[in-house]
């Protein structure tokens, strides 16, 4: 059966996460239903990362098997026609080898966390960023983030329900930048690694917000990491600020 890689973007609050569930709408279920309109199925698509409810994606990647050969452009167009009006779209499609796997062949993943600092409620970015009512010190947050880069035991910064066999991960990049966005000052946290633990980025973002607000010194991030205890973590940042930006492959199937 021919296999296809699909690059997807979606608006997180419309779904109860990526993974198929009984009842609530999910991205996986929506994509599998669209595939079933083109091919009898049943279909089971796998993704580079299982995003939680409310989390967005700009570059999620999944793979699917079909019974007949499709021109990738026509397959993307047909899927988008059947996905409407849901806020999910196939932005790229490519034929891949039968053994290619969206999750296991990924050599890197990148996330963005957005925080908008202003007292007024968000309008255009509502549901797309975390709104905090106070200014944040981006330089202090960057200093705190530097303590987490590298290979560490991230027990403090993973969900209690995380099913990963090991809490050890190599965080390749954790950068904090400040920008003057159209709705006010915006903090952007960029994270990149081969793989992440459940809720790792949101846990880190919530702790960095405490640093930016002046409630924690930057060194507290190192102390929290060394504690290897979930109780040492700051508040979990809300899902609407988190964006799955990209999954990286070598070679890139969409190149």
Least Cα distance to 4 among 45, 59, 64, 44 occurs for 64
In the chain the first and final C-alpha atoms are separated, in Å, by 22
Domain with CATH 3.30.70.580 in the chain: 3-105
* pTM of structure: 0.96
Q: Are 47 and 28 in contact (CB under 8 A)?
A: yes
- pLDDT for 140 equals 98
Spatial contact of 3 and 10, defined as CB atoms under 8 Å apart = no
pLDDT of residue 182: 87
> Looking at residue 194, what is its pLDDT?
97
Task: Select 3-105's CATH number: 3.50.50.60, 3.30.70.580, 3.40.50.720, 3.40.50.10490.
Answer: 3.30.70.580
Q: Check: CB of residue 49 under 8 Å from CB of residue 247.
A: yes
pLDDT in tens, the chain (255 residues): 899 999 999 999 999 999 998 889 999 999 999 999 999 878 999 999 999 999 999 999 999 999 999 999 999 999 999 999 999 999 999 999 999 999 999 999 999 999 999 999 999 999 999 999 999 999 999 999 999 999 999 999 999 889 899 999 999 999 999 998 889 999 999 999 999 999 999 999 999 999 999 999 999 999 999 999 999 999 999 999 999 999 999 999 999
Largest CA distance in the chain: 58
- Does the domain at 108-246 match CATH 1.10.260.40? Answer given as no
Positions annotated as catalytic residues are: 52
The pLDDT of residue 133: 95
In the chain, list all ranges with CATH 3.30.70.660. Answer: 108-246
Residue 1: per-residue pLDDT: 86
Q: What one-character DSSP code corresponds to residue 243?
A: E
């Amino acid at each position: 059966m021919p296999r296809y890689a699909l690059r997807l973007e979606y608006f997180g609050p419309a779904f109860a996460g990526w993974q198929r569930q009984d009842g609530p709408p999910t991205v996986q279920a929506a994509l599998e239903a669209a595939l079933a309109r083109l091919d009898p199925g049943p279909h089971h698509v796998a993704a580079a990362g299982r995003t939680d409810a409310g989390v967005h994606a700009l570059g999620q990647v999944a793979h699917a098997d079909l019974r007949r050969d499709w021109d990738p452009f026509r397959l993307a167009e047909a899927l988008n026609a059947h996905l409407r009006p849901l806020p999910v779209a196939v932005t790229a499609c490519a034929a891949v080898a039968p053994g290619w796997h969206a999750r296991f062949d990924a050599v890197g993943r990148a996330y963005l966390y957005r925080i908008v600092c202003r007292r007024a409620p968000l309008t255009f970015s509502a549901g797309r960023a975390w709104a905090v009512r106070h200014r944040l010190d981006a330089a202090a947050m960057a200093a705190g983030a530097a303590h987490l880069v590298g290979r560490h035991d991230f027990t403090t910064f993973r969900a209690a329900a995380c099913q990963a066999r090991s809490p050890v991960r190599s965080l390749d990049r954790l950068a904090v930048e400040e920008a003057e966005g159209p709705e006010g000052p915006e903090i952007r946290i960029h994270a990149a690694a081969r793989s992440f633990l459940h809720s790792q980025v949101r846990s880190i973002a919530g702790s960095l917000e405490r640093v930016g607000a002046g409630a924690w010194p930057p060194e507290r991030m190192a102390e929290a990491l060394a504690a290897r205890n979930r109780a040492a973590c700051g508040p979990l940042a809300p899902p609407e600020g988190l964006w799955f930006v990209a999954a990286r492959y070598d070679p890139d199937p969409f190149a």
